[in-house]
Amino acid sequence: MNLTKITTSDIHFASALQCLGAKIISLTSDPEMQTRALMTFEIEGDLKKIENDFYSKQIRVEPNEFGSNIRTLKNMIKNTL
């Protein structure tokens, strides 16, 4: 089992990661910009492929789950920052 950690401030990428089974391990404010959240995830699999698929619009996730994850992440950010 090869778990990789990734930190992002992109809520859409974070939602896609969750759709693919990533577990959020921390949510903090960015030290350089206090109003921006940094989300750290652990995910199993080829992170470069996931990133490439996401940014080239080739990733496939379930739309309702994607939207639900965005709403949940927004609430988590609002309650944390």
**Tell me, what's the pLDDT at 1?**
60
Distance between CA atoms of residues 78 and 42, nearest Å: 22
List of residues 6+ apart from 26 with CB closer than 8 A: 38, 39, 40
The pLDDT tens digits for 23-51 are 999 999 888 887 889 999 999 988 899 99
If pLDDT is split at 50, 70 and 90, which confidence band does 7 have? very high
Residue 27's domain spans which residues? Answer: 3-80
Residue pointed to by tokens 């619009």: 57
Q: How many domains does the chain have?
A: 1
